[in-house]
Structure 1
Amino acid sequence: MTGKANFTPDEWARVVGSPMVASMAITAADPSGLWGLLKESMSGGWALLEVKQDAGANPLAKAVAEDMTNADVRTSAREAMQARFKGAQLSDLKARAIDELRGVSSLLDSKAPDEAAGFKRWLQTVAQRAAEAGTEGGFLGFGGVVVSDAERATLVEIMTALGQGTTA
């Protein structure tokens, strides 16, 4: 089983941060105000909790979720994300997130070939849930759409970056 021991500390911080990066790409694609931002952010946390409790979950995703309970790991992941996204404008954020997911995908292919495909599918699920978390457009949550065109396009970009095809 592939886990934390297969990665350097910097690589592991990138893997641990990847669910947050997937959610960030969706949020940056179509910012939906404070309430939408909160919903989209919380969806990533719920995905971590669910995978942690799922006995049949991808072992690497489960290891990431378990390790997120460690304050040192959370700090390392946060610092790695801050370094990668430092100075990014909102217009650059999505592109940087997609590039980071592409890098994590390559890292997974080389360091965790047995769990890579399942972990990437899980990252897609995290992104999909972020996209579905908040209603886009409308007024006070009424009359909007669940997944905007910009979010749908970003989901395709994420799938492509993760080497998972382009069916959304």
Structure 2
Amino acid sequence: MADKSSFTKEEWVLLLESPMMAGMAVTAADPSGLWGLLKESFAGGNALAKAIADPGANPLVKALATDFSTSEARSAARDGLKTKFANSQAADVKTKSIESLRQVSAVLKAKAPGDAPAFRSWLRQISQTTAEAANEGGLLGFGGVQVSEAEKATLAEISSALEI
């Protein structure tokens, strides 16, 4: 079973960023206005909170979620994201997020092969929940579709990056 000590500081920060990356890739694929953005942004936070409370959560997911509840870990993740996305447009955010998830997958494969499938699946579920959080199109949240074609394509890219 892998935990924080199984990774370098840089690798652990990459893992800390990964729930946000999973959501940001989808959000950037088809931005859905302020209300949609707020709904979609809660998906990663909810996943972290659920992982802490779930006694059956994968141990690595639980360790990451628990560490994320500290201000030090949140600051490290926030600072890493600021650096990665400085002066980025939505298309850049999507591309950089998917590339980051590809790196996460490689780190998991090398350092935590036993935990990798569950962790990757968790990240994929975050991206799916993000995609389903707000309707795309329509007017003021009415009408539109649950998951847009752009989001579906991004979910496929995320699955590929995570080797699912």
- Per the TM superposition, whether the score is higher than 0.5 is yes
**What residue number does 1:29 align with?**
29
Counterpart check, 1:79 vs 2:97? no
**What residue number does 2:68 align with?**
68
Maintained 8 Å contact 1:10/1:80: no
Amino acid at match of 1:155: L
Counterpart check, 1:88 vs 2:103? no
**What residue number does 1:147 align with?**
147
1-structure distance, mates of 2:116, 2:18: 13
2-structure distance, mates of 1:154, 1:7: 28
Question: Which runs of 5 or more structure 1 residues have no equivalent in the other structure?
Answer: none
User: By how many angstroms is 1:91 displaced?
Assistant: 2.0
Q: TM-score, normalised by structure 2?
A: 0.97
Question: Which runs of 5 or more structure 2 residues have no equivalent in the other structure?
Answer: none
User: By how many angstroms is 1:63 displaced?
Assistant: 0.8
1-structure distance, mates of 2:86, 2:75: 16
**What residue number does 1:7 align with?**
7
User: By how many angstroms is 1:70 displaced?
Assistant: 0.8
User: By how many angstroms is 1:154 displaced?
Assistant: 0.4
Q: TM-score, normalised by structure 1?
A: 0.95
2-structure distance, mates of 1:122, 1:19: 9
**What residue number does 2:39 align with?**
39
User: By how many angstroms is 1:48 displaced?
Assistant: 0.8
1-structure distance, mates of 2:105, 2:86: 21
When the two chains are superposed, the root-mean-square deviation of aligned CA atoms in Å is 0.8
2-structure distance, mates of 1:78, 1:7: 19
Q: How many residues align?
A: 164
Moved more, 20-29 or 54-63: 54-63
**What residue number does 1:125 align with?**
125
**What residue number does 2:115 align with?**
115
Give the % identical residues. 52
Corresponding residue SS for 1:147: coil
2-structure distance, mates of 1:17, 1:141: 29
1-structure distance, mates of 2:150, 2:18: 20
User: By how many angstroms is 1:84 displaced?
Assistant: 1.9
Maintained 8 Å contact 1:14/1:81: no
